[in-house]
Amino acid sequence: MKQWIAEIATETTSGVKKSVEAFYLPTAEDVRKEIAKRGAYAVSIRPYERSPMERLIAKSSWWQVQLLRGIQFRSTSTSPGVAFWRLIEAETNPTRQNILAPAREALSRGLGIIDAMKSLNIFDRGTLAILAASERANKIAEGIPHAIQSITDKRKNMRSIAGTMGWLGFDVITIVQAMFWGKDMVIGWFNDNKPTEPEKLAEFEKVVGNLSLTWDVLILIAVGMGIFMVWAIASFYLNRGKKDWPTAKIVRSIPMIGSYMRDLGFADSMMTASRMIKGTVPMNEILELSADSASVPEVAKYWEESKDDLLRGIPLGSALDREQLTRNERLELATLSDLTQVATIMESIAEMRAQNAKTKHSLILWLAFGLTGVYLAIAFGSAIFALTVMNMSIDSALGGLTGGGF
C-alpha cells in the first residue's frame, strides 16, 4: 500500500473539471484503473512526498515506540487491529494524521494490522518481522514489547555512535583552537624578544622559523582532522539507513572505531534474530531479514553467507559458524540445532557484543583525550625546545606569555 497524489480530469457538460485527490494503492497503474472506474482519467500521478516535519516525526524512534505502546494499551480490551484504528481516529495533530493516513486506508479496506503498519513506511524490516511473527501466533500484543525493545536498542546504538563521533569532533575543535591561540601568543613573544647581537639573530630567525613551520604543520593536520570529522558526521546523517558508502568505509577502516561499529551491528542483529526465532519466524526468512536490516556491511555479509549455506542444505549450526564471529561464539553456535538453544545463544552473543562495544566506546574517548594531550604537548614542547636552543629563560617566557595573555 502506497500513497499517491493524482490530478484527475472529468468530462462534464460545462467542460473538463480537474481535481487533485490522494489514493492509497500498491502501484500507479492501480490508481489509474481506480480513476477509470469513475469515468475519469488521470492527468498526472506521483508518489506522495512527506513534508520535512512529517519525515522528522515518522523517522523518530520515540514516536514509533509511542505508537506501538498506544496499540498495546488499547489491545487489552479489543483486537490489535481495532486498537490501531481507534488510535488513528483519536489522533488530532494534522501532521501525525497525514502520516497515519495510509494505515487508516489500509484498515478501512479490510487489510490486517501488519499491512497497515507496512503502509506507514516508518518501521524497519526487523521490527515488522517481529510483529508479523507475533500476529501469526495470534499474540501480537505480547510481541509489541519485543518490537519496542528492538527499536530502543537501535536508537541506543545510533546515539552511541553519534556521541562517539561528537566527542572526537569536540577534541579536534579543542586542538584547533588551542593551536591557533598558542601560535599567535608564542611566536609573538619570540618576535618581541629578538636578540640584538647580529651573530645570534640569524640563529634566532632559523629557530623561530622552524618553530613556526612546526606549528603550521600541526595546525594543518588538526584542521584536516576537523574537516574530516565534520564531513563524516554530515555523511552519516545524510546517508542514515544506507548499508554502505565511501565515508563509512573510511571510518570503519580506523581499527578501534571499525571494531566498535561491528560489535554494535552484531549486538543489534543478533538480538533481533533471537526475538524472531522466539516468534517462530522461518529461519531462512530470519537470515534474509537480518542481512537486509544490518547497517554494517560485515554484519550483513555474515547473514547473507549463512542464508546461502542454509539454502544449500548445510546444517544451521554450521551455516552460522563463520569467520566474522569470535572463536568462542563460533564454538557455541556450531554444535547447536535446536532453535530454542540458538535463540538463547544469539541473545548471549548480543549481550556480550553490546558490552564489548561499551568498553571500546570508553577506550576510544580516553584515547582521544590522551592524544589531545600528546598533540598539545608536542606543540608547546617545540616552543620549550626553541627556548632551550636559544638559551632563553623559560621563566621569563612564561612570565611574558602570562602577562601578555591576561
Last residue of a domain, one of 123, 144, 171: 123
140: Cβ–Cβ under 8 A, 6 or more apart, which residues?
75, 80, 113, 131, 134
Q: Are residues 319 and 335 in the same domain?
A: yes
Residue the block writes with cell 490501531: 84
Q: Check: CB of residue 106 under 8 Å from CB of residue 115.
A: yes
129 lies in a domain?
Answer: no
> Domain range holding 89?
54-123
CA atoms within 13 A on the CB side of 371: 14
Task: Give 213-219's long-range contacts (Cβ < 8 A, gap of 24+).
Answer: 214/379, 214/382, 215/179, 215/182, 215/183, 215/186, 215/187, 215/379, 215/382, 216/183, 218/179, 218/375, 218/378, 218/379, 219/176, 219/179, 219/180, 219/183
Strand pairing report for 2-12 and 15-25: antiparallel
- 241-260: b (≥16 Cβ within 10 Å) or e: eeeeeebbeebbeeeebbeb
Q: What are phi and psi of 254, to 5 degrees?
A: -75, 115
Q: Looking at residue 399, what is its pLDDT?
A: 52
* Residue 139 counted as domain residue: no
239: left (phi over 0), alpha (psi -120 to 50) or beta: alpha
Asked whether residue 248 falls in the same domain as residue 372, the answer is yes
Q: Are residues 267 and 347 in the same domain?
A: yes
Type of residue found at 56: L
pLDDT at 405: 44
Are residues 191 and 162 part of one domain?
yes
Q: Is 242 helix (H, G, I), strand (E, B) or coil?
A: coil
Tell whether 240 and 160 lie within a shared domain.
yes
pLDDT of residue 191: 77
- For residue 322, give the nearest of 296, 304, 341 by alpha carbon: 304
Based on the fold, state whether residues 336 and 382 are members of the same structural domain.
no
Of 103, 123, 143, the position where a domain reaches its end is 123
Do 159 and 245 share a domain, yes or no? yes
Q: Are 281 and 129 in contact (CB under 8 A)?
A: yes
- Tell me how many degrees the CA angle 161-164-165 measures, rounded to the nearest 5: 85
Give the count of domains, the chain: 4
Q: What is the pLDDT of the chain when averaged over all its residues?
A: 82
Specify whether 177 is located in the same domain as 203: yes
The pLDDT value recorded for residue 306 is 93
10: part of which helix (H) or strand (E)?
A: strand 2-12
Write the CATH number for 317.
1.20.81
Q: Which residues sit opposite 313 in a β-bridge? A: none
Share of the chain above pLDDT 90, in %: 12
The whole-number average pLDDT for the span 358-385 is 81
Do 176 and 232 fall within a single domain? yes
Does a structural domain hold residue 387?
A: yes
The pLDDT-based confidence of 391 (bands split at 50, 70, 90) is low
Instruction: Kindly give the interhelix angle for 339-389 and 394-405, rounded to the nearest 10 degrees.
Output: 110
Count Cβ atoms below 10 Å from residue 158 Cβ, excluding itself.
Answer: 16
Residue 140 belongs to a domain? no
pLDDT score, position 86: 92
Asked if residue 362 is part of any domain, the answer here is no
381 lies in the same domain as 248: yes
Q: Determine, yes or no, domain membership for 315.
A: yes
- H/E element holding 387? helix 339-389
The answer to whether residues 275 and 316 belong to one domain is yes
Domain boundary (101, 123, 145) is at 123
What sign for the dihedral angle of Cα 205, 211, 215, 220?
A: positive
Q: Does residue 97 lie in a domain region?
A: yes
Is there a single domain that holds both residue 45 and residue 99? no
- The residue with greater pLDDT, 208 or 356, is 356
128 in a structural domain:
no
The domain that holds 10 is classified in CATH as 3.10.20
Query: In the 8-state DSSP scheme, what is residue 197?
Result: S
Chain mean position to CA 89: 32
pLDDT at 71: 92
Over 50: is that where the pLDDT of 393 sits? no
